[in-house]
Structure 1
Amino acid sequence: MTPLLAIRGLRKQFGARALLDIDALDIGPASAYALTGINGAGKSTLLRILAGLEPAHCAHLSFMGQAMPLTPYPPALRAAIVYVHQHPAMFATSVADNIGYGLRARGVARNDRQRQVEEAMAWAGVSHLRERKTQTLSGGEKQRIALARARILKPRLLLLDEPSSNLDGAAREQVIALIPSLIAQGSSVVMACHDRDLIALPAVQRLKLMDGRLAAR
């Protein structure tokens, strides 16, 4: 099976220090991965590179079987890859506007956009927050809104940076409960995480980073 994303010779330097030195990374289509490793291993850096938020050297990259550069970051990757930060940024507008932002930027017609936003809010369990301003929300509510905002774009590859981090109790459980349906919708999902409940989800494969390198699982 052709990988969705195949990378060879990925290098990221900070001065004389090698932050990442990855010989090979293959992300399969409609596959899920837990990217693990201690703090400082390079998990977030790798996700940010894949999302085009940080530059890095890459000897070879192919996406859906097509070779392309990593730098400058290709429009094809920007359209197909969505990144959700550990502390997601929110626009100072309503929850519904935040979730629909990506569709609006892509020129989706208003009626279609509203329908999809309603579906996404129901999926994330935030329909009751529709008109709330995002600055009034809890961390767990913001994370669920960020996941809905990502899901609505139907990305080929979804990158989640510690999606359940800094959440306790019910908020953590609500976020974790959304992940299986993200995987089931057909996107490939890579989660940087420490959470054992995320790592143990069905169909999730493990990628382990040690000192910037992918180690045997």
Structure 2
Amino acid sequence: MSALMTVRGLKKRHGERLLFDIDELTLETASAYVLTGANGVGKSTLLRVLAGLDTAQVASAAFEGTPVALHPYPAALRRAIVYVHQHPIMFSTSVADNIGYGLAARGEPKARIAQRVEDAMAWAGVSYLQGTDPARLSGGEKQRVALARARVLQPRLLLLDEPTANLDGAAREQVIALIPTLMEQGTTVVMACHDRDLIGLPGVRRLKLRDGHLEYRTNKGETDETP
């Protein structure tokens, strides 16, 4: 399997504190990873750096074999990489408009937007919410709408920050069920999480951020307290 993204010499500081110092991070095409580690080790910050939402010191980076800079963040990466926050922001329009927002910003034709939004809503199981005021959505519905909004952009790399946090029961299960289908369409997915069921998904690899370094681990369902 070929490398989608490789970053070497990745360092991030908060004031005098060295948050992480990663020799190499390699993400393969059409693969899924869980990024684990104790609270405060920098999981969310790492995702934000990869998405161009935060800056860090980088020795070198490549995307699909082409050298790239992470700062200033290139337009090509903004089209290829999508980040979904733990608490997704919804615009005060409709669910359909939220899902199609990124496509509209890219100048896609309205007919194409409508079709892709319809497909994404069906995929996420939120078609019944099409005209709903986003302020009325539950936590699980917001997360599925956010995933649909990301999916319509057909990202090469999707970064999910705690996608099942604060979700219980059926809502959590519905979100987890969507993850394998993202891999099937060729998207590489990286999920910062503590969720044992996400960590244990078949085919998902584990990256553990500990003491500022990144460990590639065999996925056997270990907790973050496992040495």
Task: Give the TM-score, by structure 1 length.
Answer: 0.98
Alpha-carbon RMSD:
0.9
Asked if the contact 2:206–2:216 (Cα under 8 Å) also holds between the matched residues in 1, the reply is no
Q: How many residues align?
A: 217
Asked if the contact 1:42–1:211 (Cα under 8 Å) also holds between the matched residues in 2, the reply is no
Cα deviations across residues 155-174 of structure 1 (Å, max 9, x unaligned)? 00000001001101111111
Asked if the contact 1:163–1:175 (Cα under 8 Å) also holds between the matched residues in 2, the reply is yes
Asked if the contact 1:61–1:69 (Cα under 8 Å) also holds between the matched residues in 2, the reply is yes
CA–CA separation in structure 2 for the residues paired with 1:176 and 1:87 = 16
Partner amino acid, structure 2, of 1:211: D
Number of the residue aligned with 1:12: 12
Task: Give the TM-score, by structure 2 length.
Answer: 0.93
CA–CA separation in structure 2 for the residues paired with 1:69 and 1:119 = 34
Asked if the contact 2:208–2:215 (Cα under 8 Å) also holds between the matched residues in 1, the reply is yes
Cα deviations across residues 1-45 of structure 1 (Å, max 9, x unaligned)? 541100100010111100111010000011110111111111101
CA–CA separation in structure 1 for the residues paired with 2:79 and 2:158 = 11
Number of the residue aligned with 2:136: 136
Number of the residue aligned with 1:46: 46
Number of the residue aligned with 2:185: 185
Number of the residue aligned with 2:220: none
Cα deviations across residues 82-110 of structure 1 (Å, max 9, x unaligned)? 00000001111100000001111111111
CA–CA separation in structure 2 for the residues paired with 1:70 and 1:183 = 24
Number of the residue aligned with 1:102: 102
Pairing 1:61-140 to 2, within 5 Å after superposition: 61-140=61-140
CA–CA separation in structure 1 for the residues paired with 2:216 and 2:90 = 37
Counterpart secondary structure, 2:58: strand
* Stretches of structure 1 lacking an aligned partner (at least 5 in a row): none
Counterpart secondary structure, 1:158: strand
CA–CA separation in structure 2 for the residues paired with 1:146 and 1:44 = 17
Counterpart secondary structure, 1:4: strand
Asked if the contact 2:35–2:192 (Cα under 8 Å) also holds between the matched residues in 1, the reply is yes
CA–CA separation in structure 2 for the residues paired with 1:85 and 1:182 = 17
Partner amino acid, structure 2, of 1:197: D
CA–CA separation in structure 2 for the residues paired with 1:46 and 1:167 = 23
Counterpart secondary structure, 2:3: coil
User: Is 1:58 matched up with 2:58?
Assistant: yes
Counterpart secondary structure, 1:18: strand
Asked if the contact 1:57–1:70 (Cα under 8 Å) also holds between the matched residues in 2, the reply is no
Counterpart secondary structure, 2:147: helix
How far off is 1:216 after superposition? Answer: 4.5
- Structure 1 segments of 4+ aligned residues over 3 angstroms from their partners: none
Partner amino acid, structure 1, of 2:70: L
